[in-house]
Amino acid sequence: MYSEVLRPGVALGQYPERDHTCRNAFDATLHSALGLLRRCSLNHTRRADRFVAGVNDASAGLQQLSDGRFRQRVDELRRQLAGAGLDEQRAVEGFALVREAARRTLGQRHYDTQILGGWVMLNGMLAEMETGEGKTLTATLTAGTAALAGIPVHVITANDYLAGRDAELMAPVYKLLGLRVGAVTEQAREPDARRQAYACDITYCTQKQVAFDYLRDRVAMGSRRGCLDLQLRHLSGQGGDAAPLLLRGLCFAIVDEADSVLIDDAGTPLILSRELNNPLADDTYVKALDMAGRLEEGRDYRLHSQYHDAELTGAGRPRLLEQAAGLPAPWSRQREAETLVKQALRALHCYRKDRDYLVHDGKVQIIDTNTGRLMPDHSWEQGLHQMIEASEGCEITGERQTLARISYQRFFRRYLHLSGMTGTAKEVAGELWSVYGLEVVKVPTFRPVQRLAGTDRTHATAEQKWQAIAARVREIRRSGRPVLVGTSSVEDSEHLSRVLQQAAIPHTVLNARQDQQEAAIIACAGQAAAVTVATNMAGRGTDIRLEPGVADKGGLHVIAADRNEARRIDRQLFGRCGRQGDAGSFEAVLSLEDALLKKYFPPTLTVLTRVLARLGIPVPGLLMMRIAQRLAERHHAKLRRNLLRVDEKLKETMAFSGPIE
């Protein structure tokens, strides 16, 4: 039942991780077929029911114990786990103790459905739990039990806000169990602070923080990665002239919001870099932007909006060489000149302010489109970031040189034990199995879901859509219900805010500009007649608690102002209402000018539907959106597959010289 890796402790100086071997085509096909067979045939109900019943039996007498006797029981279990490892009997005892610790410290006792979710993760699977079912509390069962066995645990979630919040909220539970908990966020910049957090029994962090710290360790280790080398490093404190490592290895991971972490972010490679000693002069970027501005779309270059990319045509290259004639390096070198102008075209036409990035404190900061949050200290590569800085009139930072790189697919497969939880996994269950070996198990809700789905409405123009949303908000608000409107970008959220202001509708905006006020804004979003306009920041991990009496009026109403590029992200937004059996409802108000259709729907069909709409002929807007979403999902899945193939091919190609990270 339990993997052999669920054993106590990490030996002195070791850096445990799984050496994941690349699969050949036959092995990959066989693995995918096995996953399909498992999803169709396996039923975990009997094993899970037996486990839940065991936890309930073990919990029966714990409430009568004094605090002193309770701690003795915890110490007894730790000694047993240290000697014999983690099996089903001791896991039952561990879950019962964690459950009692939560009752004593938080006043919250895990439901049977949460015990089931914890059991799923302890067995190396992914628990799909409906939004609002208490995934944060559920994770304490698995994390606490594994940590009591002496296994370093990483609880990984989608953003710094959730990592810091969850660590703080659950700390009392772990403290009563004698466990130390730490958090690694963007604010913890000092290596010593990070090292101390990773040295805790349980560490809350984001995927970006832990993956980059892993790359830093790989760079620090260099070629000295054997057990003896690591023991000498540990005993010497510094390992010669090298800095001490940050992590204790990749032992046990619980990935919260797993589809966001393992799927949505998996299409972007992680690159650890340092600033070049000989950066290009600032006027080089300005000159590239000037040259790009003189080129004509269609004749000199083509844009590929799906890929955020641009390419010069056969006619564009001679025109560029004509402009660059007589200029010094790098313009005298054709390949470098073309690369610079291509990046300038991308900066001018493929990346938009308030959608892809913000200018904040005089700096260009990237917006994570999946979460709506800023990503400080992250930058685009190959001069693109500097080109955007030049176009915005910001101080130009130095270009960076790659030190190490890895994909999320390859990184997470290196954990000895990988598990996770999310509210939206069924759409990508096949990919989760084929890439990570994670089987998705649906966990039933504690109370029946009362969320009501409204009818999607599609308007001909974006402005008609915004006016319709304002009218709908006014209508819902009159009944005393709170309203949450989800938009796809900072730009759209602020445009809708202006529309609501003109309609004299009081509201609050939550986007990347207000990330510091997130907790306060969410705390008020469930009040009677409250109106909140938010980007995807409000789509994950946010628990909008209803004010007393609001549920009786119908609960929170959610309006989607756009369809996202994945159905899962839409479901996350709609999941903000109707949580834990509360009343709630949702709908989508869309337009034929929405970004999703512009980017993915065939252009000729788009023109035809707009003409029909203006003539008063109904168009199947919902069907169009679904087609565009499917095309977007296929596009992003293809990008992830290609990245994984490149990663594995690079590993094979460079195997003779050691690991590529």
Distance CA 651, CA 342 (A): 29
Q: Are 457 and 468 spatial neighbours (Cβ–Cβ below 8 Å)?
A: yes
Task: Tell me, yes or no, whether 458 lies in a domain.
Answer: yes
pLDDT, residue 649, reads: 72
Task: Tell me, yes or no, whether 1 lies in a domain.
Answer: no
Q: Which residue has the higher pLDDT, 181 or 592?
A: 181
Q: Are 182 and 161 spatial neighbours (Cβ–Cβ below 8 Å)?
A: no
> In 444-512, which residue ranges form alpha helices assigned H by DSSP?
462-478, 490-502
Distance CA 76, CA 83 (A): 11
Q: Residue 436's CB: how many other CB atoms inside 10 A?
A: 22
Same domain, 204 and 116: yes
When pLDDT is cut at 50, 70 and 90, the band that residue 656 belongs to is: very low
Q: Are 505 and 466 spatial neighbours (Cβ–Cβ below 8 Å)?
A: no
Task: Tell me, yes or no, whether 587 lies in a domain.
Answer: yes
Residue 326 gets the label, from left (phi > 0), alpha (psi -120 to 50) or beta, of left
Instruction: Pull the structure tokens for residue 431.
Output: 């990919």
Same domain, 110 and 223: yes
Q: Which residue has the tokens 């609050």?
A: 508
Same domain, 286 and 385: yes
User: Cis link prior to 318 (omega < 30° from 0)?
Assistant: no
Four-CA torsion 491, 494, 496, 498, nearest 10 degrees: -130
Same domain, 195 and 52: yes
Distance CA 58, CA 481 (A): 43
Same domain, 422 and 468: no
Reference 308, options 212, 387, 405; nearest CA is: 387
pLDDT, residue 203, reads: 98
Distance CA 40, CA 32 (A): 13
Distances (CA, A) of 371 to 306, 367, 540, 557: 19, 8, 8, 21
pLDDT exceeds 50 at position 37: yes
Same domain, 341 and 264: no
Same domain, 429 and 346: no
Burial class (CB in 10 A: 0-12, 13-18, 19+), 109: middle
Distance CA 630, CA 620 (A): 16
Q: Residue 199's CB: how many other CB atoms inside 10 A?
A: 14
Same domain, 122 and 229: yes
Q: Are 126 and 258 spatial neighbours (Cβ–Cβ below 8 Å)?
A: yes
Give CA angle at 323 (318, 324), nearest 5°.
Answer: 95
Same domain, 477 and 360: no
pTM: 0.85
Task: Tell me, yes or no, whether 644 lies in a domain.
Answer: no
Q: Which residue has the tokens 């804004």?
A: 521
Task: Give the total residue count for the chain.
Answer: 661
pLDDT, residue 371, reads: 72
Q: Looking at residue 326, which CATH number applies to its domain?
A: 3.90.1440.10
Distance CA 551, CA 234 (A): 57
Angle between helical axes of 429-436 and 621-653 (0-180°, round to 10) = 0
Q: Collect all residues with Cβ–Cβ distance below 8 Å to 75 and sequence separation of at least 6.
A: 178
Phi, psi of 68 (to 5 degrees): -65, -45
pLDDT (tens digit, 9 = 90+) per residue, 609-643? 767 767 777 667 778 888 899 999 998 999 888 88
Same domain, 264 and 282: no
Q: Which domain holds residue 281?
A: 277-398
pLDDT exceeds 90 at position 9: no
Q: Which residue has the tokens 């919902």?
A: 622
Q: Are 351 and 379 spatial neighbours (Cβ–Cβ below 8 Å)?
A: no
Helix (H) or strand (E) holding 254: strand 252-256
Using a pLDDT cut of 90, give the percent of the chain over it.
52
Distance CA 187, CA 207 (A): 15
When pLDDT is cut at 50, 70 and 90, the band that residue 241 belongs to is: very low
CA dihedral sign of residues 504, 509, 513, 514: positive
Distance CA 468, CA 477 (A): 14
Among 398, 430, 461, the domain-final residue is 398
Q: Residue 564's CB: how many other CB atoms inside 10 A?
A: 23
Highest mean pLDDT among 241-245, 285-289, 448-452, 467-471: 467-471
Distance of CA 610 to the CA centre of its chain: 35
pLDDT (tens digit, 9 = 90+) per residue, 358-405? 998 888 999 887 777 787 777 888 889 999 999 999 988 877 777 888
Q: Looking at residue 97, which CATH number applies to its domain?
A: 3.40.50.300
pLDDT (tens digit, 9 = 90+) per residue, 123-181? 999 999 998 899 999 999 999 999 999 999 999 998 888 899 999 999 999 999 999 99
CA dihedral sign of residues 529, 533, 536, 537: negative
Task: Tell me, yes or no, whether 600 lies in a domain.
Answer: yes
Distances (CA, A) of 122 to 91, 256, 296, 418, 424: 9, 14, 58, 9, 19
Q: Collect all residues with Cβ–Cβ distance below 8 Å to 629 and sequence separation of at least 6.
A: 563, 564, 565, 566, 567, 596, 600
Same domain, 239 and 322: no
Task: Tell me, yes or no, whether 128 lies in a domain.
Answer: yes
Q: Are strands 583-591 and 556-560 parallel, antiparallel or unpaired?
A: parallel
Specify which residues 356 forms β-bridges with: none
Q: What is the DSSP string of 361-418?
A: TTEEEEEETTTTEEETT---TTTHHHHHHHHTTPPPPPPEEEEEEE-HHHHHTTSSEE
Phi, psi of 561 (to 5 degrees): -90, -5
Mean pLDDT of the chain: 86
Per residue, the 3-state secondary structure of 134-195, as one string, reads CHHHHHHHHHHHHHHCCCCEEEEECCHHHHHHHHHHHHHHHHHCCCCEEEECCCCCCHHHHH
Average the pLDDT over each of 99-103, 231-235, 445-449 and give the range with the smallest value: 231-235
pLDDT exceeds 90 at position 96: yes
Q: Are strands 417-422 and 252-256 parallel, antiparallel or unpaired?
A: parallel
Same domain, 380 and 497: no
Q: Collect all residues with Cβ–Cβ distance below 8 Å to 369 and sequence separation of at least 6.
A: 355, 356, 488, 489, 536
When pLDDT is cut at 50, 70 and 90, the band that residue 305 belongs to is: confident
pLDDT exceeds 60 at position 197: yes
How many domains, in total, are found in the chain? 3
Q: Are strands 357-360 and 363-368 parallel, antiparallel or unpaired?
A: antiparallel
Distances (CA, A) of 224 to 190, 219, 242, 657: 24, 10, 11, 13
